[in-house]
Amino acid sequence: MTRFLFRAVLLVAVGLGLAVWRGDLVVPDRWNPWAPLDVTAEPDFLTPFRLGRLQRDGDLCRAALATSDLAWTPLPDRPSDVGCGLTDAVRLTDAGPDFGEPLTATCRLAVAWALFERHELQPAARAEMGAEVTRVGHYGTHVCRNIAGSARRSEHATANALDIASLTLADGRTVSVRQHWDDDGARGRFLRRVRDGACRYFDVVLGPDYNAAHADHFHVDMGRFSTCR
């Protein structure tokens, strides 16, 4: 009986989902999984699904990025015989906090950053440090290389990853992953909130708790796997 009820509920859910997808059933965007992703909207349980859809649709991804406050220009696709090409990439000239230089990133990475910066990074900075983040110290997004100690290409090879080393606040204080991860005070709490918040939007988040290679930065990417460590 329980199995029958489960299957019945599942069939109804699938049927309703198809009706919404076809447009036969109109629901508010908040409850519509296929509604365009709006970076400014408060994230909800459908946000990961909408973010995942962007990987397969460059136009949809750029439409989502257009709802953010970031300044960007699309880049042409660049095939590569060695696994270091660009697909649906953008050039970020203003990513909110100052990165010191324009960044090349996949559109989906840029959207994830916009969501994270707006809904996690800045609220955490205000709550724990009393000031917003104005500058990000980083090790870049795009470099043609393998994962350290591996024969597999890094997500950095396709501009699908970012390494965050430090965060500078509006009052001039800098919070460093290397120096403050184990801090028992506000800096440590802030960094741990940053790591946890990043896991809500990026597919992979690796920091000092992962291994010694990440002792001085958070690696975030939009790759094929899902890890938060």
Classified as helix, coil or strand, 65 is helix
3-class secondary structure, 120? helix
Higher confidence at residue 20 or residue 40?
Answer: 40
- Look up tokens 């290397």; give the residue: 178
- Specify the pLDDT at position 148: 84
Whether 10 has a pLDDT exceeding 50, the answer reads: no
Give the tokens for residue 211: 């291994």
Instruction: Give Cα separations from 63 to 37, 111, 179, 199, 223 (angstroms).
Output: 8, 10, 38, 23, 21
Q: Is the pLDDT of residue 97 over 90?
A: yes
Asked if residue 113 has pLDDT above 80, the reply is yes
pTM of the model: 0.88
Question: What pLDDT sits at residue 17?
Answer: 43
Question: Is pLDDT above 50 for 14?
Answer: no
Give the whole-number percent of the chain exceeding pLDDT 70: 88
Assess whether pLDDT exceeds 50 at residue 4. Answer: no
Q: What pLDDT score does 124 carry?
A: 98
Closest CA to 197 of 115, 131, 107, 92: 115
Q: What was the pLDDT predicted at 28?
A: 67
Token pair recorded at residue 221? 């990417």
Per DSSP, which regions of 131-186 are E strands?
133-138, 161-169, 174-176
Per-residue pLDDT of 184-205, as tens digits, reads 999 999 999 999 999 999 999 9
**Half-sphere exposure (CA, 13 Å, Cβ side) for 149?**
3
Residue with tokens 């397969």: 56
Cα separation, 120 vs 105, in Å, equals 20
Q: Pseudo-torsion of CA 185, 190, 192, 193, nearest 10°? A: 140
Sign of CA dihedral 220, 107, 22, 29: positive
Per-residue confidence (pLDDT) for residue 34, from 0 to 100: 87
The pair of three-digit structure tokens given for residue 108, joined into one six-digit string: 């989906």
Contacts of 206 (CB under 8 A, 6+ apart): 214, 218, 219, 220, 227, 229
| 52 CB-near residues (< 8 Å, 6+ apart) | none
Task: Write the DSSP string, 15-29.
Answer: HHHHHHHHTSS---G
pLDDT top residue among 5 and 174: 174
Please give the residue that has the higher pLDDT: either 47 or 10: 47
